[in-house]
């Protein structure tokens, strides 16, 4: 699995990509910079990757901290709570997404993010140790 760093303002969080083809294509397009949109407790932004739904990874209901790719809008999504489409306590995207990974760590600060704030997603640098 590949590790990424997501930075919004001065806050950084790490996330892990899964082995999906969508995650691999997004990994190859990094770094990404954009302005975020919010939809309930979801952050999303358009990226220059265009793929359809993957049979194994497509989900209509996601889990807390999931990263997704929304094919209809060509968007990278971070799910940290309920959306306007949620029913009960489920986390439901506007339509099916490919789940591409998971945030590692605290999500609470994402609730303070507003539309238009800048986001950067990049490959996590691995520091090589010397023997």
The residue ranges of every structural domain in the chain are: 3-123
Give the per-residue pLDDT at 128: 55
Task: Identify the H or E element spanning 26.
Answer: helix 21-29
pLDDT band at 125 (very low <50, low <70, confident <90, very high): low
Q: Residue 62 — pLDDT band, cuts 50, 70, 90? A: very high
Query: Coil, strand or helix: which one is 67?
Result: strand
Q: Integer distance in angstroms from the first to the last C-alpha of the chain? A: 25
- Counting residues of the chain whose pLDDT is more than 90, the rounded percentage is 90
For 21, which DSSP code? H
pLDDT computed for residue 127 by the predictor: 57
pLDDT at 38 over 80: yes
E strand spans, 1-131? 3-8, 11-17, 32-35, 37-38, 42-46, 58-59, 66-70, 75-79, 97-104, 118-123
pTM of the predicted model as reported, rounded to 2 decimal places: 0.93
Residue 20 has pLDDT above 90, yes or no: yes
- Provide the CA 54 distance to its chain's centre, in angstroms: 16
Question: Domain 3-123: which CATH class?
Answer: mainly beta
Least confident of 28-32, 33-37, 103-107: 103-107
Instruction: State the pLDDT confidence band at 105, using cuts at 50, 70 and 90.
Output: confident
Quick one: 27 exposed, middle or buried, by C-beta within 10 A (0-12, 13-18, 19+)?
A: middle
* Cα 8 from Cα 10, distance rounded (Å): 6
Mean of pLDDT values over 71-75? 97
The tokens describing 35, both together, are 């302005």
């Amino acid at each position: 699995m590949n590790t990424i760093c997501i930075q919004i303002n001065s806050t950084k969080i790490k996330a892990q990509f899964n082995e999906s083809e969508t995650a691999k294509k997004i990994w190859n397009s990094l770094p990404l910079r954009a302005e975020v949109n919010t939809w309930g407790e979801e952050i999303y932004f358009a990226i220059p990757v265009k793929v359809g739904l993957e049979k194994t990874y497509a989900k209509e209901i996601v889990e807390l901290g999931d990263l997704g790719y929304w094919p209809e809008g060509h968007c990278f999504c971070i799910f940290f709570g309920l959306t306007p489409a949620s029913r009960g306590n489920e986390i439901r995207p506007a339509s099916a997404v490919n789940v591409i990974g998971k945030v590692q760590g605290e999500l609470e600060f994402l609730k303070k993010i507003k539309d238009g704030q800048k986001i950067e997603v990049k490959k996590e640098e691995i520091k090589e140790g010397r023997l």
